[in-house]
Structure 1
Amino acid sequence: FNDGEKSQRIWTITKQAPDRYSGRAADVVGTAQGTVKGNVLNWQYVLQVPYKGSTINVNFDDWMYLMNDKVLLNKAIMSKWGFKVGEVVITFEKL
């Protein structure tokens, strides 16, 4: 991240139907659900986020846009109790 923080999340993703996926990761509560339309994936899940020496569960609504065969743009809206608490924009580049 811009502030120097580093993060790693390893997903196990399963195709459920031609346009639907589910996924699991160590810090995800339950199972993530995703739907693909064209070059866009909408991925929704609950993430355990570190907070004051503990964790809190935050809802994530990720929108991933495949820009070309090497670049993915990810915009995630984070919410708690229905209120937006943050937003993350990340670019992934395939090397």
Structure 2
Amino acid sequence: MAIDAFAGTSPLFLPEKFFVGRLEGWAVLESFVGGLLKRATISAHGEFDPNTDTVLFTETYAFDDGRSDTLRWTIHKLTEGEYIGHENRLEGEAVGQQAGCAFHWKYTRDTPQGNGKSFKLNFDDWFYAIDDRACIVRGSAGRAGIPFATAHVTYRKFS
């Protein structure tokens, strides 16, 4: 699906607004062949620097197996609808596109696993604004261009 398909939809999903303040979330990860892989709760907080059009966004996933993963994002707005992001476990940069109620975010990350190992996974996430305080994300994770899991995430914003 192309990001342009969401032009003119509302409410707008702007990372520099939505990811600022305190958020909480919930996630389920399913295998592509069906079946629940993991569940997680998410606590997050973001701050916006208007001088650099940059959001510093930290999110911590607490998984149902007891492990956690914290991502510390730096998200920079390049031009209208275009973003890049950095995080300490990324391979290269994350790239994002925004139009209307949608934000498309793609990146490759060396992702910690429950067994103490980590894998480079390709993420392809679509954020959809529900209102100014909630969004739903449908994402996929895979390796070598082959997706093997789908994530369904809901975020609620407090401030």
TM-score, with normalisation over the residues of structure 2? 0.55
Q: Once the 2 structures are TM-superposed, how far is the Cα of residue 5 of structure 1 from its aligned partner?
A: 4.5
Q: In the alignment, which of 127, 147, 150 is matched to residue 64 of structure 1?
A: 127
Task: Within 5 Å, give how 1:38-77 maps onto structure 2.
Answer: 38-51=100-113, 52-77=115-140
Distance in structure 1 (CA, Å) of the matches to 2:90 and 2:101? 24
Indicate if the aligned counterparts of 2:95 and 2:105 stay in contact, CA closer than 8 A: yes
Q: Which moved more, 1:69-78 or 1:49-58?
A: 49-58
Between the two proteins, the alignment pairs up a number of residues equal to 95
Query: Quick one: higher RCO (CA 8 Å, sep 6+), 1 or 2?
Result: 2
Q: CA RMSD in A?
A: 1.6
Map of 2:85 onto structure 1: 23
Query: What is the identity percentage for the equivalent residue pairs of Structure 1 and Structure 2?
Result: 27
Map of 1:94 onto structure 2: 157
Distance in structure 1 (CA, Å) of the matches to 2:111 and 2:69? 11
TM-score, with normalisation over the residues of structure 1? 0.89
Distance in structure 2 (CA, Å) of the matches to 1:73 and 1:62? 10
More strand by share: 1
Q: Gaps (5+ residues) in structure 2?
A: 1-39, 41-62
For residue 128 of structure 2, what is the amino acid of its counterpart? Y
Moved over 4 A (4+): none
Distance in structure 2 (CA, Å) of the matches to 1:36 and 1:47? 21
Structure 1 residues 42 and 86: CA distance shift in structure 2, 3 A = same
